[in-house]
Amino acid sequence: MKNILKAALLLFIAVNLSSCEKDEGIPPEINFKTGAGYTGTGGTFASGADLKVGIEADRTEDKDNLKVFNVSKSVDGAPATTVLNYQLQDSEGEHFSYDYTETLEGESGQVFVYTFTITNRDGITNQLKLNITIQ
């Protein structure tokens, strides 16, 4: 009788474990906004110019809400530093939109690399990079 109970318990556990919902681990979507005033392709800019980069991000799986938006910046190949780390509100979990603005200050020839990263509930990330050269 004990063996039958053990077998039934093992079968119950195996069925429940195999029926657990598994997500596919799809990274969230992230895209640059386009249109008048937005920079989304990089390029060369004068020192003192205003940079405006818009992003749109969407979750890709029903339960994996967006959680964190990060902007980092590297200058001339140096390690990137975080310039913005934003914890999304629950209302922003399905769709997030943000406009990042900065006045570019640098010397001629300097290269800035901006990285825009979105992270979902499972810690899966997706990112966009933008290269800006000061003329």
18 phi and psi angles, rounded to 5 deg:
-75, -20
* 7 found inside a domain: no
Q: Residue 51 pLDDT more than 60?
A: yes
Each residue's pLDDT tens digit, 83-126: 999 999 999 999 999 999 999 999 999 999 999 999 999 999 99
Q: Compute CA 51 distance to the chain's CA centroid, rounded to the nearest angstrom.
A: 20
pLDDT exceeding 70 applies to what percent of the chain? Answer: 83
* 113 found inside a domain: yes
* 89 found inside a domain: yes
Task: Check: pTM over 0.85? Answer yes or no.
Answer: no
Number of structural domains in the chain: 1
Residue 31: which domain range? 24-134
* 18 found inside a domain: no
The CATH number given to whatever domain includes residue 50 is 2.60.40.10
DSSP 123: S
- Cβ contacts of 94 within 8 Å, gap of 6 or more: 58, 59, 65, 66
- DSSP E strands in 46-110: the ranges are 50-58, 66-75, 81-87, 95-103
The pair of structure tokens assigned to 58 is 């969407």
* 35 found inside a domain: yes
The pair of structure tokens assigned to 23 is 């997500």
